[in-house]
């Protein structure tokens, strides 16, 4: 499934780029043949709203590798403001020992200030949901117990972000972003007060291995 998504995204980018280049070539040839039309050409003003899609080729959660897909971005730029209103990311964590891997879903907003035309820095905030597929747990409260299921938790996140822009063409930019944020999910209780229990795992299991930590992500996105 991951390979299919990457393949489709790559083909979409190539198609859009080639389509624009062909249209631009035709327009240039036509105007060159009819120079008097130049003063009647309507030039569409640049939009302050842009969409984006990209990859997270490199990230770290503690000492674990994070790789993901930035499936959607909604960006607004105006004057000195560069605000990524919403971005959604699906990610996977691969530990070296392959004992406790994780799947992530992130929904973030990133208001930034443009310190130059190509660079912006600012904050980020959002919500994350994380699941550990090969770590079994159940929750209990007032003598009620749920069936065993993969451990999962969620919380708000807060941190910092920075972005750099590289122009590809008149309509496309490549945005490289660095994200650094702190997780706040609990390994003790759910948000409704139920207690997590990991007793059916190894007696040597340490909750610190799945505890929240600082996260670093490197994003590369195509902005349309």
19 φ/ψ angles, rounded to the nearest 5 degrees: -60, -40
- For residue range 162-171, list pLDDT tens digits in order: 999 998 887 7
Residue 180 tokens, joined? 């650094």
Reported pTM: 0.76
Domain shared by 24 and 39, yes or no: yes
Domain shared by 118 and 161, yes or no: yes
Say whether pLDDT at 56 is over 60. yes
Domain shared by 95 and 160, yes or no: yes
Higher pLDDT, 19 or 149: 149
Distances (CA, A) of 160 to 54, 90, 119, 217: 19, 19, 14, 11
**Considering the chain, what percentage of its residues have pLDDT values greater than 70?**
75
The overall average pLDDT reported for the chain is 82
* Residue keyed to tokens 């198609």: 15
Residue 15 belongs to domain spanning? 1-43
Reported confidence tier of residue 14, pLDDT bands at 50, 70, 90: very low
pLDDT of residue 124: 96
Q: Measured in Å, how far apart are the chain's first and last C-alpha atoms? A: 24
């Amino acid at each position: 499934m991951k390979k299919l998504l990457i393949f489709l995204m790559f083909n979409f980018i190539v198609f859009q780029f080639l389509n624009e280049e062909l249209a631009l070539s035709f327009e240039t040839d036509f105007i060159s043949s009819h120079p008097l039309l130049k003063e009647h050409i309507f030039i569409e003003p640049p939009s302050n709203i842009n969409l984006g899609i990209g990859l997270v080729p490199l990230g770290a959660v503690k000492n674990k590798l994070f790789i993901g897909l930035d499936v959607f971005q909604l960006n607004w730029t105006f004057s000195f403001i560069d605000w990524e209103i919403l971005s959604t990311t699906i990610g996977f964590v691969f530990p070296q020992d392959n004992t406790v891997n994780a799947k992530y879903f992130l929904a973030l907003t990133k208001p930034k200030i443009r310190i130059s035309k190509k660079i912006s820095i600012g904050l980020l905030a959002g919500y994350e949901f994380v699941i550990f597929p090969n770590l079994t747990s159940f929750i209990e409260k007032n003598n009620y117990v749920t069936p065993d299921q993969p451990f999962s938790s969620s919380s708000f996140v807060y941190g910092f972000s920075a972005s750099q822009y590289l122009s590809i063409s008149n309509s496309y930019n490549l945005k490289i972003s660095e994200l650094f944020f702190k997780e706040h999910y609990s390994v003790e209780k759910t948000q409704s007060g139920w207690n997590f229990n990991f007793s059916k795992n190894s007696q040597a299991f340490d909750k610190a291995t799945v505890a929240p930590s600082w996260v670093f992500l490197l994003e590369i996105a195509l902005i349309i």
